[in-house]
Amino acid sequence: MDIEHKKRLIKYNDKLFSCTTSIAMELIGGKWKSVILIYLIDGKKRYNELYKLISTITERTLSLQLKKLEQDGLITRRVYTKKPPLKVEYALTPLGETLAPVLTSIAQWGKTVADEKGEIIE
């Protein structure tokens, strides 16, 4: 795949970007977005499932990041109200699913770094 490198402006979601990489990082960058997305590759998850899987995230941060990912069209939020208790599930959208190979590659690279230079604590 050839990526054209030239000076330009790209408008996406009413914001201006100088590079397509900036658009990608706007959508999945930061400490938590890619972590949330990688856990949703396997299928839909409830809020508490995600909270337990991502042991170092706060509830507020998880809630804010889920809202942002939903606004950006990468995940869906489905609320079940038929019978109590209220049930909410999050899942990747078709656009979010296109990130699976990218996120899996990043996760594999991170595992390689962790194996070579880090310490995995169970």
Q: How confident is the model at residue 12 (pLDDT cuts 50, 70, 90)?
A: confident
The 3-class secondary structure across 1-23, one letter per residue, is CCCCCCCCCEEECCEEECCHHHH
pTM, rounded to two decimals: 0.85
Q: What angle do CA 40, 97, 62 make, to 5 degrees?
A: 35
What residues have CB less than 8 Å from 50, skipping those under 6 apart?
36, 39, 40, 62, 66, 90
Is pLDDT of 8 > 70? yes
Residue 85's pLDDT is what? 77
The alpha carbons of the chain give a radius of gyration, in whole angstroms, of 17
Tokens of 5: 């490198």
